[in-house]
Amino acid sequence: MEGSDDDIDLVPLSGSQVEQFARIEQLWPEFGHSLQVLAASDGGGMGWRTVDGVEYLTRYTQENGKKKGRSLGRRSPETEAIMDEFDSTVLKARRIRRGYREDVLLTCKLAKAYGIARLHGRFAHTLDWLWYSDANKRVALFGGTALLAYESGSKTLTPVDLIKDDKLQFIAHSEDPEKIGLIEIAEACGSGREEMFVTLEDGVFEIRAEDQVVAEIYRPSYFLERCPREAMSEALEKPWLRALTFSRDTRPIELCVPDPRVYAMAAHCMRDDDGIWERRAQFAARMVRECWPDKFDRRQKAVIDSPMEDDRMRLRGP
């Protein structure tokens, strides 16, 4: 890589930091799933109600502060199956959330005390929304914020200057705006603001609130035009990584990001756009080489070691 990645210091996580990551990763599969189940439900309860000696399955909801009941029918194999399903999903999720809540909160508070709760609250809100809606299956987080997702797996702390972002950036799975779900992602980025706008600038979708760009979405073709096509096309097909981090407002946030080897390649190809990408590329490359279980293969090394003056790196178009 042009410029040695020896210039980038790798700071190991402390034992306490590693412990908090390990604890939230242990709690999250059940706790996180319970949050998604409850978000998808319409609240309320369900139970058996006896009327004139006959049991009826009743669905309870709240309307304007008043409890409302709606009969789902007499007790029968069909209504018992409905009740069993409600118990094994919604009620189970409530039990898990209630049982894990204090442990999760304590872990997040300790993470903040130990200096690893660094995700900005505004970004956390958007990324949490994308996780709840499964929109993060269509776009992977990029930019400096994505580097937070590699801290637990590499057991290294990302330098503060590398994770500073004034907007969120993503890499899309598809070229098709409808498959990307631009409207849904724009709503998530809005965070209650006025109307959001989506524009296409130099092959990048920009999500704007008035004159401010709040998010950018890069299509795969953006990188294929800047990097050796065969190597980058293969890299972009790699499964995305899901990892946990902590927000400044003490919440666990699940991030969906490119494989760190893919991140290093993409960052290397963007170095002529912004000086910060030079250091991000160097950091990601050294982190993979020294701290990540899966190392670069021959093609990937050729990409990250190629100088920007190489004609292949300046290639535009197909």
| Total of domains in the chain | 1
Q: Is residue 295 included in any domain, yes or no? A: yes
146 lies in which domain range? Answer: 5-14+118-314
Q: Is residue 47 included in any domain, yes or no? A: no
Q: What is the DSSP string of 237-251?
A: TSPPEEEEEEETTS-
- Mean pLDDT is lowest, of 56-65, 196-205, 307-316, for 307-316
**pLDDT given at position 190:** 75
Q: Is residue 249 included in any domain, yes or no? A: yes
- Residue carrying structure tokens 């990408």: 277
**∠ CA(29), CA(30), CA(32), 5° rounding?**
70
Residue 308 has pLDDT above 80, yes or no: no
Q: Tokens standing for 154?
A: 């590499």
Q: Is residue 29 included in any domain, yes or no? A: no
**pLDDT given at position 238:** 92
CATH classification at residue 229: 3.30.460
Instruction: Name the 3-class secondary structure at 24.
Output: helix
**pLDDT given at position 317:** 38
pLDDT in tens, 94-105: 999 999 999 999
Q: Is residue 99 included in any domain, yes or no? A: no
Q: Is residue 285 included in any domain, yes or no? A: yes
Instruction: Name the 3-class secondary structure at 118.
Output: strand
pLDDT in tens, 49-108: 999 899 999 998 887 778 888 899 999 999 999 999 999 999 999 999 999 999 999 999
E strand map for 65-210: 66-74, 117-119, 139-141, 156-157, 168-172, 196-201, 204-209
Q: Is residue 112 included in any domain, yes or no? A: no
Q: Is residue 60 included in any domain, yes or no? A: no
